[in-house]
C-alpha cells in the first residue's frame, strides 16, 4: 500500500519550491544526510533517499512521512554501476521522470596520512568512481528529458589546505588526505559536468559546507574554540543550515546558475 501523502498542488509552488519535483539523494544516514532529507522533503519534493543499507535510512524516511513529506528509502551500491542503473530505472518506472540528484555519499576509510594504501584505494572506489558513475547515470537520464539539476555535496576542505593548528590540543589527529583530494576533485568535476550537461538543460553545482557541530558526538572543546576563531560567525554550522543552499540550487529559483561552488562555511574561506 502506498503511504505517500499527495503532492502539493501547482498553485502552492514558488520558484524556491520543489513541489512535485522528483529528487534522488544518494547518502542520507549521517547527520548532514538526515538534515538534507528534512530540507528537501520539506520543500515539497518527491524524494528518494538511497544508500547501501536501506534499513539505515528507513527511520528518517518514516519520520519525514509522518510530517506529510513524500520521502521513500531505497538501496543502492554506488560501487556497482548496475546497482546505480537499477535505482535510476526504478525511479523512472515509478515516477516517470527524475528532476534532480543530490550526491551526498562519502566514505572515509583513511585514519591518517600513514594509513595503508588500500584505504586510499577503497576511498577512491566510492568518493571518485562511485561519484562519477552516479552523476553520469542520473545526469544522462535528466539530459534525455532536457532539464534537471545536480547538486554535489563537497566541502570547504576541497578549497583550502589542511590546518594543523585547528587540531592541536584537541585530542584528535589531523584529518587524512583522501578527503581533501576527493572534495577538491569534486569541485572541478562539477565545473566539467556543468559544461557537458548545460546544452542539454541540466544544471550542475556544488555546495561546500564548513565544519558541522555534532550534538550526537560533540567535538572537543579546544577544537570548537579554535574553529570558531577561523570563521566570521564565530562558530561551527548546524546541519540544518546547509539544506537551504541545496534546495535553492535544485529549485527553479536557480534556473540560470550552473558550474558554481557555493560555500556554506560561516565565512571560513572568505577570511
Residue 23 lies in a domain: yes
Task: State pTM to two decimals.
Answer: 0.93
232 domain-assigned: no
pLDDT at 1: 47
Indicate whether 81 belongs to any domain: yes
Residue 196 lies in a domain: yes
**Distance from C-alpha of 165 to C-alpha of 184, rounded to nearest angstrom:** 21
- Say if residue 130's pLDDT is above 80: yes
The pLDDT score that the predictor gives to residue 139 is 98
Q: Is residue 219 part of a domain?
A: no
Q: What is the dihedral of CA 225, 230, 232, 234, to 10 degrees?
A: -10
Mean per-residue pLDDT, 34-48: 96
Query: Rounded to whole angstroms, how far apart are CA atoms 151 and 136?
Result: 13
Has residue 149 been placed in a domain? yes
Q: What pLDDT band is residue 168 in, cutting at 50, 70 and 90? A: confident
- What is the predicted pLDDT for the residue at 169? 74
Q: Is the pLDDT of residue 10 over 70?
A: no
Find the angle CA(180)-CA(113)-CA(177) to the nearest 5 degrees. Answer: 5
Say which CATH number the domain at 119 has.
Answer: 3.40.50.720
Q: Identify the domain containing residue 188 by its residue range.
A: 19-162+171-210+242-270
Tell me if 234 is assigned to some domain: no
Domain count, the chain: 1
Average pLDDT rounded to a whole number, residues 253-260: 97
Nearest alpha-carbon partner for 33 in 66, 7, 61: 61
pLDDT digits (tens, 9 = 90+) for 170-190: 666 789 999 999 999 999 999
In a domain? residue 221: no
**What number is the average pLDDT over the span 53-70?**
91
Contact 57, 32 (CB under 8 A): no
Say if residues 250 and 41 touch (Cβ distance below 8 Å): no
Amino acid at each position: 500500500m502506498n503511504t505517500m501523502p499527495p503532492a502539493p498542488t501547482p498553485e502552492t509552488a514558488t520558484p524556491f519550491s520543489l513541489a512535485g519535483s522528483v529528487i534522488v539523494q544518494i547518502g542520507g544516514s549521517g547527520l548532514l544526510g538526515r538534515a538534507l532529507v528534512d530540507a528537501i522533503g520539506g520543500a515539497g519534493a518527491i524524494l528518494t533517499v538511497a544508500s547501501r543499507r536501506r534499513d539505515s535510512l528507513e527511520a528518517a524516511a518514516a519520520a519525514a512521512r509522518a510530517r506529510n513529506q513524500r520521502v521513500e528509502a531505497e538501496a543502492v551500491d554506488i560501487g556497482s554501476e548496475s546497482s546505480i542503473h537499477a535505482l535510476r530505472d526504478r525511479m523512472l518506472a515509478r515516477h516517470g521522470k527524475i528532476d534532480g540528484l543530490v550526491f551526498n555519499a562519502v566514505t572515509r576509510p583513511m585514519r591518517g596520512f600513514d594509513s595503508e594504501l588500500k584505504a586510499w584505494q577503497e576511498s577512491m572506489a566510492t568518493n571518485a568512481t562511485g561519484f562519477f558513475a552516479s552523476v553520469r547515470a542520473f545526469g544522462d537520464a535528466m539530459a534525455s528529458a532536457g532539464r534537471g539539476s545536480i547538486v554535489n555535496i563537497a566541502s570547504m576542505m576541497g578549497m583550502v589546505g589542511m590546518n594543523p593548528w585547528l587540531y592541536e590540543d584537541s585530542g584528535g589527529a589531523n584529518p587524512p588526505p583522501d578527503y581533501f583530494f576527493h572534495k577538491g576533485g569534486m569541485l572541478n568535476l562539477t565545473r566539467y559536468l556543468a559544461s557537458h550537461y548545460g546544452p542539454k538543460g541540466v544544471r550542475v553545482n556544488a555546495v561546500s559546507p564548513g565544519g558541522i557541530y555534532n550534538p550526537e558526538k560533540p567535538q572537543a572543546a579546544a577544537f570548537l574554540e579554535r574553529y570558531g576563531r577561523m570563521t566570521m560567525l564565530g562558530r561551527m554550522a548546524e546541519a540544518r543550515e546547509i539544506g537551504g543552499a541545496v534546495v535553492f540550487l535544485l529549485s527553479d529559483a536557480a534556473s540560470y546558475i550552473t558550474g558554481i561552488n557555493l560555500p556554506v562555511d560561516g565565512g571560513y574561506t572568505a577570511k
